[in-house]
């Protein structure tokens, strides 16, 4: 019984002893591990929460999982090396953007006129924005003038007759010398909803065939004059004719034209003298313009050849110093225009280069633009050089010869209604009402891109009658007259909304927006680099502190005799 009662006691003691021994062993092992870790410097650092600074897209915290730490170190957002690379890259982009501005890049790219890009596509398929308004003159006193009751012909303006001028570009070829050749074709489209003038309304107009041919033959010999008078008498031609508005513009025919064309086709190549019919009969032209960065902004899209020649069509280059290169057709102008630039405009109907000079700054469609006015002395006589636009006998100031563009027919060009006073408005006819606001010409251009926002070209065509007194009366009544026939206005009335907003973005929004974005990129790049430099310094200081702390504790524990004695006693118990 005793033995049986003591047995459990012994077992309990042994169990307790075993348990104590196990606990002691664990404690010794734990103490040994703690000691070893302390001695060996295995001190764990607290886990710090690390956040990505790139818009807080990838917040990352420290984990005990080695795989997670490895994945975080490879993160593009939070990796120290990656952030430094991003910082340097953003600095280069921002500094490069300040040196090479986005606006300059856009304008340089425009120089190339690459197919598929907006500048080329807008030019290749130009918007239908040009309106042609034609004003004709009706003679109100033809009977009184012919009877001698009135000394001068009185004219009344009728119009406008409104058309849409359609422009087509085709056969586009990019040449190796940084030029582009294309075919430009223009033709008018009648707009019935914008017209108030009946095309069937009748006019009394001068007989262009009779007066024009007699003026052309004014210096011919006696036999030619006699033959011409006989032909006029045979056909019963009169000095004034009754024509409808449509006939006057598109289907002006006269019997003496048919006879003259059959007898002398070289002298009279056409039998239809309609005003617009003659203008648009041959309005398909081959044009070569300069493109590419080789020519820079100053010569961009200026005409290099017109119908294969550098000089004005039908002009002798040895007699006329004017050259067509350097001018523009008005669809697109050179870039970076300044207030000192003279813009040269070429329009075949005028048969002359037209210089425009800076007038003032304006704001159109919220875009800052320049207005250039056509010189009011453009039709004056040149006294110190070769005058390409004069005739023999000389024309009075204010008139320019246009015969070379109209089969040598005696046509002269002037401002509408002689509004500059050269020649005086009542010198040849009465009834003219000059108005500078209504009759001047100008263009409104965005100077950086050379995009025309508005343009108005107004010119008057006149018949110049030489001294035809050799034909006897009543021819002598018309000697030395300049008879206004019609005047036309080509008006570009704005831009399509897509082009307008694109120019507005490029000129108004892009410069300040690019400065803001480049500044943000500069600050962000500096932040990345500064942040990582600061973190590197903090980590270096922490590492130095920890190494110093480890070295100090190790030396303290090694030199502590009490700790060494207790360690030996503790080991002996094992």
215-226 pLDDT, tens digit per residue, is 988 888 888 888
Which of these three, 495, 514, 534, is where a domain ends?
495
Q: Which domain holds residue 310?
A: 105-495
Q: For the whole model, what pTM was predicted?
A: 0.78
Which of these three, 474, 495, 516, is where a domain ends?
495
Highest mean pLDDT among 39-53, 325-339, 477-491: 477-491
CA 266 to chain centre: 44
CA 318 to chain centre: 36
Comparing C-alpha atoms, which of 225, 137, 73 is closest to residue 417?
137
Comparing C-alpha atoms, which of 334, 347, 341, 357 is closest to residue 446?
334
- In this prediction, what percent of the chain has a pLDDT beyond 70? 80
271 pLDDT more than 90: no
Q: What is the pLDDT of residue 57?
A: 43
**Both ends of the chain: CA-CA distance in Å?**
37
Q: Does residue 240 share a domain with residue 367?
A: yes
Highest mean pLDDT among 415-419, 532-536, 565-569: 415-419
Residue 439 lies in a domain: yes
Contact predicate 339/370, CB 8 Å: yes
57-66 pLDDT, tens digit per residue, is 444 444 445 5
Tokens found for residue 125: 């398929």
Q: Which residues pair with 501 in a beta bridge?
A: none
Residue 568 lies in a domain: no
Residue 100 lies in a domain: no
Q: Does residue 304 share a domain with residue 202?
A: yes
Residue 180 lies in a domain: yes
Q: How far apart are CA 242 and CA 248, in angstroms?
A: 9
Residue 151 lies in a domain: yes
- Rounded to 5 degrees, φ, ψ at 36 are -60, -40
* Residue 241 confidence class, pLDDT cut points 50, 70, 90: very high
* Residue 296 confidence class, pLDDT cut points 50, 70, 90: confident
Q: Which residues pair with 491 in a beta bridge?
A: 131, 456
Q: Does residue 471 share a domain with residue 375?
A: yes
330 pLDDT more than 60: yes
List CB contacts of 19: < 8 A, sequence separation 6 or more: none
List CB contacts of 441: < 8 A, sequence separation 6 or more: 354, 356, 373, 374, 456, 457, 458, 459
- The three-class DSSP label of residue 171 is strand
Comparing C-alpha atoms, which of 388, 380, 374 is closest to residue 330?
374
56 pLDDT more than 50: no
59-112 pLDDT, tens digit per residue, is 444 444 555 545 555 555 566 777 777 777 877 887 777 777 888 888 988 999
Residue 465 lies in a domain: yes
- Average pLDDT value for the chain: 82
> SS3 sequence, 269-293?
CCCCCCHHHHHHHCCEEEEEEECCC
Question: In total, how many domains does the chain have?
Answer: 2
137 pLDDT more than 90: yes
- Rounded to 5 degrees, φ, ψ at 268 are -125, 90
Residue 75 lies in a domain: no
Which of these three, 460, 495, 530, is where a domain ends?
495
Residue 503 lies in a domain: no
Q: Which residues pair with 357 in a beta bridge?
A: 373
Q: How far apart are CA 445 and CA 451, in angstroms?
A: 6
Tokens found for residue 18: 């075993």
Q: Does residue 118 share a domain with residue 6?
A: no
195 pLDDT more than 80: yes
Q: What is the pLDDT of residue 128?
A: 77
Q: Does residue 23 share a domain with residue 115?
A: no
Tokens found for residue 520: 């943000």
Q: Does residue 119 share a domain with residue 28?
A: no
How many residues are there in the chain?
A: 574
Q: What is the pLDDT of residue 522?
A: 81
CA angle 422, 460, 313 (to 5 degrees): 105
Q: Does residue 34 share a domain with residue 113?
A: no
49 pLDDT more than 70: no
419 pLDDT more than 90: yes
Q: What is the pLDDT of residue 431?
A: 96
Q: Does residue 327 share a domain with residue 192?
A: yes
Q: Does residue 9 share a domain with residue 151?
A: no
Dmax over CA atoms of the chain, in Å, equals: 176
Q: Does residue 153 share a domain with residue 29?
A: no
Q: What is the pLDDT of residue 60?
A: 44
Contact predicate 411/402, CB 8 Å: yes
Q: How far apart are CA 144 and CA 428, in angstroms?
A: 16
* Residue 549 confidence class, pLDDT cut points 50, 70, 90: low
Q: What is the pLDDT of residue 512?
A: 87
Q: Does residue 447 share a domain with residue 315?
A: yes
- Rounded to 5 degrees, φ, ψ at 494 are 95, -170
Tell me the DSSP string of 285-351: EEEEEE-STTSTGGGTT-EEEETTBSB-TT--TTT---BSTT-B-SSS--SS--TT--EEEEETTTT
Q: Cis link prior to 545 (omega < 30° from 0)?
A: no
Q: Does residue 322 share a domain with residue 184?
A: yes
């Amino acid at each position: 019984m005793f033995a049986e009662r003591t047995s459990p006691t012994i077992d309990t003691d042994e169990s307790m002893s075993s348990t104590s021994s196990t606990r002691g062993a664990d404690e010794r092992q734990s103490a040994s591990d703690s000691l070893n870790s302390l001695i060996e410097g295995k001190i764990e650092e607290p886990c710090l929460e690390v956040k990505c600074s790139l818009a807080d897209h990838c917040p990352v915290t420290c984990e005990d999982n080695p795989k997670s730490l490895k994945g975080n170190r490879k993160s593009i957002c939070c990796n120290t090396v990656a952030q430094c690379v991003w910082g340097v890259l953003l600095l280069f982009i921002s500094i490069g953007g300040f040196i090479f501005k986005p606006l300059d890049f856009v304008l340089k790219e425009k120089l190339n006129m690459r197919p598929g890009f907006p500048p080329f596509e807008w030019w290749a398929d130009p918007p239908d924005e040009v309106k042609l308004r034609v004003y004709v003159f009706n003679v109100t006193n033809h009977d009184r003038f012919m009877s001698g009751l009135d000394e001068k012909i009185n004219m009344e303006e009728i119009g406008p007759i409104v058309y849409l001028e359609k422009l087509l570009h085709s056969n586009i070829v990019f040449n190796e010398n940084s030029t582009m050749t294309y075919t430009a074709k223009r033709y008018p489209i009648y707009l019935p909803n914008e017209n108030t003038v009946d095309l069937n309304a009748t006019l009394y107009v001068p007989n262009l065939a009779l007066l024009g041919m007699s003026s052309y033959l004014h210096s011919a010999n006696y036999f030619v004059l006699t033959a011409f008078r006989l032909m006029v008498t045979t056909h019963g031609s009169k000095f004034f004719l009754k024509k409808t508005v449509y006939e006057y513009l598109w289907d002006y025919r006269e019997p003496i034209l048919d006879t003259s064309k059959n007898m002398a086709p070289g002298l009279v190549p056409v039998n239809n003298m309609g005003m617009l019919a003659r203008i648009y009969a041959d309005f398909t032209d081959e044009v070569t313009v300069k493109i590419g960065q080789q020519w820079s902004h100053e010569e961009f899209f200026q005409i290099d050849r017109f119908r294969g020649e550098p000089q004005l069509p039908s002009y002798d280059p040895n007699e006329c110093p004017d050259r067509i290169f350097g001018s523009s057709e008005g669809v697109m102008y050179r870039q970076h225009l300044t207030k000192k630039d003279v813009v040269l405009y070429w329009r075949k109907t005028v048969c002359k280069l037209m210089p425009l000079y800076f007038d003032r700054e304006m704001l159109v469609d919220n875009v800052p633009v320049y207005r250039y006015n056509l010189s009011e002395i453009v039709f004056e006589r040149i006294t110190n050089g070769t005058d390409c636009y004069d005739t023999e006998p000389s024309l009075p100031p204010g008139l320019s010869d246009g015969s070379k563009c109209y089969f040598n027919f005696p046509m002269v060009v002037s401002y509408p209604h002689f509004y500059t006073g050269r020649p005086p408005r009542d010198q040849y006819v009465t009834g003219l009402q000059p108005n500078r606001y209504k009759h001047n010409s100008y263009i409104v251009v965005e100077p950086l891109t050379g995009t025309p926002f508005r343009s108005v070209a107004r010119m008057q065509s006149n018949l110049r009658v030489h001294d035809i007194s050799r034909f006897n009366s009543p021819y002598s009544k018309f000697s030395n007259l300049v008879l206004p026939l019609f005047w036309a206005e080509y008006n570009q009335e704005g831009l399509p909304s897509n082009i307008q907003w694109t120019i507005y973005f490029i000129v108004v929004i892009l410069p300040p927006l690019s400065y803001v974005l480049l500044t943000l990129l500069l600050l962000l790049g500096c932040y990345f680099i500064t942040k990582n430099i600061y973190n590197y310094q903090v980590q270096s200081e922490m590492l130095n502190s920890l190494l110093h702390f480890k070295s100090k504790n190790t030396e303290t524990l090694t030199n502590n005799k009490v700790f060494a004695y207790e360690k030996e006693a503790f080991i002996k118990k094992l």
